[in-house]
Amino acid sequence: MVRPTPSLEELPMVDMSQALADFERARAESRVRVTTKIDRLKHAVLAPLRELGITSVEIAFDGYGDSGAVERIFSYDAENQESELPEEAVVLLEGDDTARETSLRSALEELTYAALELHHPGWENNDGAGGALEIDVAQGSFMLDCKLRYTAYDDHYDEL
């Protein structure tokens, strides 16, 4: 059975200020959740990287057209020579203070995706973005280098 399209009078009224307040609240809650996740992941990966003698890590990502992924993880030793990232297990604390075990590689990928979600949501859409999450293990510093791509037009009209 086909239902008739409702008239404007039959449509429910939307309180835009309430809708915006709900959106902002949800966005703030998401920001706290993702920031907490990033902090836990950073803590979980640093000690194993130090124990393995890895001094820096670069997690390269790329995406466009509504799809994106971590492409490769580069790890470097004290002589700045690229080294293979060992299959090492790490323990991650979850939001409810339970723990789960995962591989170091998976934790680094998860960290990259969380950083992108926080700082560049939708990075993989349309023309996309590429870049890397760079970790200085000795300093315990993390830098997200994200190069957003876009199509631009330089349009000119000249009357002759």
- Per-residue pLDDT of 106-117, as tens digits, reads 999 999 999 999
Which pLDDT tens digit goes with each residue over 15-61?
888 888 888 998 999 999 999 999 999 999 999 999 999 999 999 99
Query: What's the pLDDT score for residue 58?
Result: 98
Give the pLDDT mean for 85-110.
Answer: 90
Q: Tokens in use for 131? A: 């870049």
Q: Tokens in use for 94? A: 């979850």
Determine the residue type at 107.
Answer: A
Alpha helices in 10-160 (DSSP H): 16-51, 104-119
The Cα 128–Cα 150 span in angstroms is: 7
**What is the distance of C-alpha 61 from the center of its chain?**
10
Q: Tokens in use for 40? A: 């836990």
- Specify the pTM: 0.84
The Cα 64–Cα 33 span in angstroms is: 26
3-state secondary structure of 28: helix
State the pLDDT confidence band at 4, using cuts at 50, 70 and 90: confident
DSSP letter, residue 10: G
Question: In this structure, what are the phi and psi dihedrals at residue 85, rounded to the nearest 5 degrees?
Answer: -75, 115
The Cα 41–Cα 90 span in angstroms is: 10
* Block residue for tokens 């957003």: 148
3-state secondary structure of 87: coil
Give the pLDDT mean for 57-76.
Answer: 96
